[in-house]
Amino acid sequence: MISLQRMLGLFMLMLLHGAPITPGTMTTLPATAKPTVVTFPLELNPPRVVVRYGDSVSVNCSTSSTDHKGMGWEATFGDAGFEQDVNIVTWTVDNLTDWTIKPKCYMPLIDGEQASKVLPVILYKPPDSVSISVLRHSGPMVEGTEYQLQCDIQNMAPLQNLVVKWYKGNEPLDNVTYSNVSKTPVDVSATLMISPSRHDDGAQYRCRAELDLGPEGPQPHPTVTSEPLSITVHYAPEFLPGNDTVEVSAGSDVSLDCSAEGNPPPELRWTNNTAEGNANETTVGRLRTLYISRVTANATYNCTVTNGLGSITKQIQVLVDVPPQQHPTMFSTAPSTPGTMTTLPATAKPTVVTFPLELNPPRVVVRYGDSVSVNCSTSSTDHEGMGWEATFGGTNFEQDVNIVTWTVDNLTDWTIEPKCYITLIDDEQASKVLPVILYKTPDSISISVLRHSGAMVEGTEYQLQCDIQNMAPLQNLVVKWYKGNEPLDHVTYSNVSKTPVDVSATLMISPSRHDDGAQYRCRAELDLGPEGPQPHPTVTSEPLSITVHYAPEFLLGNDTVEVSAGSDVSLNCSAEGNPPPELRWTNNTAHNVKSSTEGRQRTIRITKATSTNAGIYICTATNRVGTATRTTTVTMKGGSTSISLTIVIIFPVIFLIFLIVFFMCKKRQGFYNFIPVNQPNDVPLMPLPTIGVGNHDPEGYPMKV
Ligand SMILES: *[C@@H]1O[C@H](CO)[C@@H](O)[C@H](O)[C@H]1NC(C)=O
Ligand SMILES: *[C@@H]1O[C@H](CO)[C@@H](O)[C@H](O)[C@H]1NC(C)=O
Ligand SMILES: *[C@@H]1O[C@H](CO)[C@@H](O)[C@H](O)[C@H]1NC(C)=O
Ligand SMILES: *[C@@H]1O[C@H](CO)[C@@H](O)[C@H](O)[C@H]1NC(C)=O
Ligand SMILES: *[C@@H]1O[C@H](CO)[C@@H](O)[C@H](O)[C@H]1NC(C)=O
Ligand SMILES: *[C@@H]1O[C@H](CO)[C@@H](O)[C@H](O)[C@H]1NC(C)=O
Ligand SMILES: *[C@@H]1O[C@H](CO)[C@@H](O)[C@H](O)[C@H]1NC(C)=O
Ligand SMILES: *[C@@H]1O[C@H](CO)[C@@H](O)[C@H](O)[C@H]1NC(C)=O
Ligand SMILES: *[C@@H]1O[C@H](CO)[C@@H](O)[C@H](O)[C@H]1NC(C)=O
Ligand SMILES: *[C@@H]1O[C@H](CO)[C@@H](O)[C@H](O)[C@H]1NC(C)=O
Ligand SMILES: *[C@@H]1O[C@H](CO)[C@@H](O)[C@H](O)[C@H]1NC(C)=O
Ligand SMILES: *[C@@H]1O[C@H](CO)[C@@H](O)[C@H](O)[C@H]1NC(C)=O
């Protein structure tokens, strides 16, 4: 194609100059009518020249003829003049700058005829500059749009030998040639249409002007290349492959992938149809992930990616496997199965048809006074229209729609039962009621002790009451009791009440001495199920601090003290209790016995003991709650064994023997369970489950030893 063009160019050039292409021909114009054409050898060497503008050139013109007068060159520059009797003349120019030069070698013959031959000269000049630009546009390009690149080539010749080559990176795109013929320098602009794709973002376009001057021309071709033009391609966002359904088990964490690419990098927005929280988002390059911790409810997450060129949305379903038995009291009054429609035709038997009337979300949990919006849609095609019927936010019957929306800005109707209905072409109607849970957290919560005030007494039962004011719905309330941070009990209600109620929960406590100063609290929590707010709305009471009074308790057990006659001895008694007990010694009336008090310890001191001091000393500790005693037996050393000592030692031995005998007699009669001796006395002695065969008393209690 190019070489054809170039040949055409050369051909036309020769025609313009009237030069023969074939070896020289001579037209003789004799007096005779018939002209004769004679061929003869007039040879140019080289036969044609390709010269760079300003370069030197030299061509010999020679002949093998013998009957000629001489030879010469005729040219605007480098005229060699006429030389006689030569067979060769040389045309030489040092600095060829004449674009239209037509050197001609001529040879007059003896017979007055003249032969001549024109030298084909191609004078060329590579461009001063080559540059690339985008026509009628600046800034980033948009994918799929057409743009025109222009290559400006300054001051080159000859046009017919120019090849403009376009490149993207190193990939050749297109070649352009010109059929216009121009020997003198011209400015040329070539254009290229492009419609870039996202993969062309950052691509570099170049154009190159090449002079293909044929086999006589310089090799490789003189070439000038433009600076590269880098393009930026913007394109609408596109999702990278990712799952659109994720199955997880309840309570586990899940990560949703919404990776997308686009230029400029798209912005991402997540929306969902759940009230659950606990999500965070991460972006690593094009990878966009939403982490959700502890999912409990099925939900749809929409991921929308947007840049200046577009916005697309992907829906990701999170399906949660739940073990059954969750939230049994929820939605007890509302249907949650797909809509059913009962048709009542003339025939006796009614038919039940199921059809898709879908509520989205399928149920709602709304805080009193909040806004709510639910879509009701159908895939039915043969219906007249749809509507919502509700005390607030109902819609009119809308014809020929597949979706109607129920919206309330400030939901305050406790008993609202919005119903979406559809009227089919045959005048049948179907409807679905939206289960609505309207909730309200308590106005106040307080804790008190019932029928008692002041300090409590250890081991006594008291009733704590938690008063919860004006909350709804009762069936979703959980009252939790705490002592300090320790959970004690929780209470739920099976009563169903949609409207706000006041509730009192009670807790029985029987405080021990260790509970003195303990703080009790109660907390009202609304567990509204997976659709409800997380964490649960909660109101906690002020703490109730209790004081526990308890009787004594001696720090030491009963004791025996041996005293030598004439020595001194001190007997100590100390006890604790709340309030602190009063301590008293009895049997300290002897003249050599003195009592004293030091802090919470009461001491009696016997000076110069005599046998009259031997005996049992009793310390009594008394407070409002009770009295306890502790004995100290004083014996005299070295003296005959006193009666009391005899009692102390001998009585337990006799008792033990009695016990063994008694036990052996009873054992023969059957099996017995013994109540441990340290069992607190206030624990009722319940009949034990029958273990083996045994004799029980008429009331079913085990026989007490
Ligand atoms: C022209 O002729 C001269 C003399 O014979 C010779 O030296 C020269 O090389 C020739 N030039 C060419 C281009 O043939
Ligand atoms: C050739 O001629 C041009 C124009 O006449 C001139 O500008 C240029 O300097 C010359 N070059 C040489 C090498 O003589
Ligand atoms: C342009 O021409 C070159 C040869 O000069 C050839 O290799 C190339 O394939 C051509 N490109 C196109 C796009 O025609
Ligand atoms: C080539 O010639 C055509 C008409 O003959 C003209 O429209 C066009 O502009 C010319 N191209 C150049 C590069 O001179
Ligand atoms: C899509 O889900 C399958 C099976 O649940 C999992 O193997 C795969 O890794 C997921 N692909 C992506 C991109 O998350
Ligand atoms: C998610 O997108 C779908 C369709 O694009 C729309 O119908 C639905 O309401 C959206 N859901 C959320 C929660 O944004
Ligand atoms: C779901 O959307 C709600 C409201 O837009 C938002 O408060 C909540 O954090 C979102 N939950 C998750 C897990 O993204
Ligand atoms: C996002 O959540 C994941 C999983 O729940 C957690 O590992 C990660 O640390 C969280 N990142 C941030 C920034 O909170
Ligand atoms: C989620 O949907 C699946 C199937 O639709 C169902 O089996 C599952 O019980 C649903 N989970 C919850 C929490 O509603
Ligand atoms: C909602 O309605 C209630 C009762 O009609 C009204 O007391 C309350 O101010 C309203 N709240 C808003 C935010 O409009
Ligand atoms: C007091 O001590 C005498 C012996 O000194 C003793 O016989 C008597 O039983 C004691 N009284 C009491 C109440 O323990
Ligand atoms: C001391 O013994 C008496 C009966 O002898 C008993 O009632 C009392 O509880 C005992 N005191 C202590 C502290 O053990």
Dump pLDDT digits (tens) for 476-506: 999 999 998 898 988 888 888 889 999 999 9
pTM for the predicted model, two decimal places = 0.47
Answer with the one of 124, 149, 169 that is the final residue of a domain: 124
CA of 337 to the centre of ligand 9 (A): 12
Ligand 4 centroid to Cα of residue 188, in Å, is 10
Instruction: Give the pLDDT confidence score for residue 624 in this predicted structure.
Output: 84
Please report, as a single letter, which amino acid is at residue 623.
Answer: N
Using a 6 Å cutoff on CB, does residue 273 contact ligand 6? yes
Q: What is the pLDDT of residue 485?
A: 87
Nearest-ligand number for the alpha carbon of 320: 9
Side-chain-side CA neighbours of residue 685 (13 Å): 16
The Å distance, Cα 245 to ligand 5 centre, comes to: 9
Atom of ligand 6 nearest to the CA of 271: 14
Residue 475 belongs to a domain:
no
Task: Give me the pLDDT at residue 704, please.
Answer: 37
Over residues 354-358, mean pLDDT? 72
User: Domain count of the chain?
Assistant: 2
The span from the CA of 517 to the CA of 522, in Å, is: 17
Band (280; pLDDT cuts 50, 70, 90): confident
How does residue 109 score in pLDDT terms, banded at 50, 70 and 90? confident
Please tell me the predicted confidence (pLDDT) of residue 690: 35
Q: Is residue 176 predicted with pLDDT exceeding 60?
A: yes
Residue 432 lies in a domain: no
Q: Note whether residue 142 is domain-resident.
A: no
Least confident of 68-72, 207-211, 294-298, 353-357: 353-357
115: in domain: yes
255 Cβ below 6 A of ligand 5: no
- Distance of CA 614 from the midpoint of ligand 11 (Å): 9
The alpha carbon of 253 and the centre of ligand 8 are apart by a number of angstroms equal to 10
- Which letter does DSSP use for residue 677 in this model? T
Amino acid making up residue 22: T
Strand partners, 71: 83
The yes-or-no verdict on residue 670 having pLDDT over 90 is no
CA distance 644 to 587: 15
Ligand nearest to the CA of 300: 6
- Which atom of ligand 7 is found nearest the CA of 278? 13
CB 498 within 8 A of CB 414: yes
323 falls in which pLDDT band (50, 70, 90)? low
CA–CA gap between residue 506 and residue 491 (Å, rounded):
9
Question: What pLDDT sits at residue 151?
Answer: 97
For 285-309, give the secondary structure using H, E and C.
Answer: CCEEEEEECCCCCCEEEEEEEEECC
Q: What is the b/e burial string over 320-337, where b = at least 16 CB atoms within 10 angstroms of the residue's CB?
A: beeeeeebebbbeeeeee
Q: How far is the CA of 56 from the centre of ligand 2 (A)?
A: 11
The overall average pLDDT reported for the chain is 81
User: Which atom of ligand 12 lies nearest, measured to the CA of 556?
Assistant: 13
Which of the two residues, 262 and 654, has the higher pLDDT score? 262
Q: Note the pLDDT tens digit of each residue in 384-399.
A: 899 999 988 888 889 8
Question: Closest residue (by CA) to atom 7 of ligand 12?
Answer: 629
Region 234-241: what's the mean pLDDT?
Answer: 91
- Residue 656 pLDDT grade (very low, low, confident, very high; cuts 50, 70, 90): confident
Task: Answer whether residue 427 is part of any domain.
Answer: no
Q: How does residue 327 score in pLDDT terms, banded at 50, 70 and 90?
A: very low
Domain range for 55 is 40-124
Predicted confidence (pLDDT) per residue in 691-701, tens digit? 333 343 333 33
Q: Higher model confidence: residue 367 or residue 274?
A: 367
Q: How far is the CA of 368 from the centre of ligand 10 (A)?
A: 9
Longest CA pairwise span in the chain (Å): 195
Q: What tokens does 62 get?
A: 């020679």
pLDDT value, residue 349? 35
pLDDT at res. 174: 94
In sequence order, which residues have a C-beta less than 8 Å from that of residue 387 and are 6 or more positions away?
394, 395, 396, 397, 398, 404, 420, 421
pLDDT higher than threshold 60 for residue 591: yes
User: Look-up: residue for tokens 């021909």?
Assistant: 25
Q: Which residues line ligand 9 (CB under 6 A)?
A: 297-298, 319-320, 322, 530
State how far the Cα of 349 lies from the Cα of 347, in Å rounded to an integer. 6
Q: Which helix (H) or strand (E) holds 16?
A: helix 2-16
pLDDT at residue number 92 = 94
Q: Quick check: 90 pLDDT over 90?
A: yes
C-beta 627 within 6 A of ligand 12: no
- Share of residues in the chain with pLDDT > 90 (%): 46
| Range of lowest pLDDT (132-136, 182-186, 321-325, 622-626) | 321-325
Question: Which residue did the predictor score with more confidence, 157 or 587?
Answer: 157
Convert the pLDDT of each residue in 403-440 to its tens digit: 999 999 999 999 899 999 998 887 788 888 999 999 99
End-of-domain residue from the set 106, 124, 142: 124
pLDDT beyond 50 at 674: no
Distance from residue 97's CA to the centre of ligand 2 (Å)? 8
Query: Quick one: which ligand is closest to 52's CA?
Result: 2
Ligand 2 pocket at CB < 6 A: 54, 95, 97
Nearest CA to ligand 8 atom 5: 293
The residue type of 674 is F
pLDDT confidence bin for 339, thresholds 50/70/90 = very low
Q: Tell me which residue of 645, 503, 513 sits closest to 579, measured CA to CA.
A: 513
Question: What span, in angstroms and rounded, lies between the C-alpha atoms of 55 and 412?
Answer: 99
Summarize the confidence of residues 290-308 as an average pLDDT. Answer: 90
CA–CA dist 5, 213 (Å, integer): 11
Q: Which residues contact 256 (CB under 8 A, 6 or more apart)?
A: 246, 289, 290, 292, 301, 303, 316, 318
Ligand closest to the CA atom of residue 553 = 12
Dist. CA 108–CA 116, nearest whole Å = 8
- What is the spatial distance between Cα 367 and Cα 380, in angstroms, rounded to a whole number? 33
Residue 589 lies in a domain: yes
| pLDDT at residue number 143 | 93
What residues contact 344, with CB distance under 8 A and at least 6 apart? 350
Predicted local distance difference test score (pLDDT) of residue 691: 36
The residue contributing the CA closest to ligand 3 atom 1 is: 175
198 in any annotated domain? no
Three-state secondary structure string covering 122-176: EEEECCCEEEEEECCCCCCEECCCCEEEEEEEEEEECHHHEEEEEEECCEEEEEE
Q: Residue 612: inside a domain, yes or no?
A: yes
Residue 446: what residue type? S
CATH code (residue 88): 2.60.40.10
255 CB within 6 A, ligand 8: no
Domain boundary among 620, 636, 652: 636
The whole-angstrom separation of Cα 130 and Cα 128 is 7
